[in-house]
Amino acid sequence: MSLFTLSAPVADALANGTPVVALESTIITHGMPWPQNLEMARRVEDAVRAEGAVPATIAVLDGRLCVGLDDAQLEALAQARNVAKLSRADLAVCVAEGGTGATTVAATMIAAARAGIATFATGGIGGVHRGAESNFDISADLQELAQTPVTVVCAGAKAILDLPKTLEVLETLGVPVIAYGQDQLPAFWSRDAGLRAPLRMDTPGQIARAQAMRVALELPGGQLVANPIPAEAEIPREVLAPVVARATADAESHGIRGKQLTPYLLQRIFELTEGRSLDANIALVLNNARLGARIATEMSALPGN
């Protein structure tokens, strides 16, 4: 724990058994423009608190792995430039070199698990990018879900990805993929990806008990909860598909790939939808934060916690 800096609210919550929800920071630095990113970060933390849990936004600041940020740290991060985007491969390097970086899904899961936080709410996970059969572009998030014991609440894999291949890889890795309250897998901005979810659960208590049973059975890894975006905020799949195709073609024409690909696609889709994608993104993140807090509350009430 000498490598961690726990905020006072997070430290108190962990000591007292109060539910805690981990939150990533890449969505702040790479997912939304200023000042919407700061407004969104504050609203997400408030949504967690409104459900009776404590938010723990995670980032590396000047070489310290911070679990829980105060408002001044949030604002500074939201305005920072040239912030590293950290996953499993480069998290340790950033800490060792005293750098500043925002945590992706994979890095946030690592930090949350080390700090004793079992629930994490985010927007969407990474996955298998289109054309992966030739470029091998597959997010480290999928491997992390297979090995790190954290329940990740999202709105599904990002719609810019190859969703059938992402689902296949998750199945191969043994990751439970749970659609919340519906049979169809959601796809980030859309409630229906056109794919049937492997599992369905309808209550936070079911999800909490499933994660506890994984621990009891000594199964490695966590579980993925796909929480559909609220109906009033979604962009239907048939509307979004040509937009994603256009953004993907633009990225290919400019030679954009690797860690720069997702931020570019999100920005291009924002432009092509005239801001509608950003409104949907904020709505789904808030929705996931609320569900994550409810799951964390149910987990904290289980025997032994």
Q: What is the pLDDT of residues 190-240, one digit of tens each?
A: 999 999 999 999 999 999 999 999 999 999 999 999 999 999 999 999 999
Neighbours of 50 (CB within 10 A): 11
Catalytic residue among 24, 45, 51, 234: 24
Q: Which three-class secondary structure state does DSSP give residue 259? A: helix
Residue 259 has pLDDT above 80, yes or no: no
How much of the chain exceeds pLDDT 70, in percent? 100
Q: What is the pLDDT of residue 112?
A: 98
Share of the chain above pLDDT 90, in %: 84
Lowest mean pLDDT among 58-67, 273-282, 287-296: 273-282
24 has catalytic annotation: yes
pLDDT score of 133: 82
Structure tokens at 176: 């439970």
pLDDT at 1 over 90: no
Residue 259 among the catalytic residues: no
- Per-residue model confidence (pLDDT) at position 31: 78
At 262 the pLDDT is 80
Q: Shortest CA distance to 117 belongs to which of 21, 181, 33?
A: 21
How far apart CA 294 and CA 51 sit, in angstroms, is: 7
Catalytic residue among 45, 51, 85, 158: 158
Model confidence at 137, pLDDT cuts 50, 70, 90, reads: confident
**Pick from 60, 68, 75: which is nearest to 13 by CA?**
68
**Where is mean pLDDT largest: 50-54, 276-280, 301-305?**
50-54
pLDDT for position 263: 81
State the pLDDT at residue 93: 97
Per-residue pLDDT, 265: 87
- Residue 105: name the closest of 248, 225, 257, 269 by CA: 225
Report d(CA 221, CA 54) in Å as an integer: 23
Sign for the pseudo-dihedral over CA of 230, 233, 235, 236: positive
User: Mean pLDDT throughout 236-264?
Assistant: 88
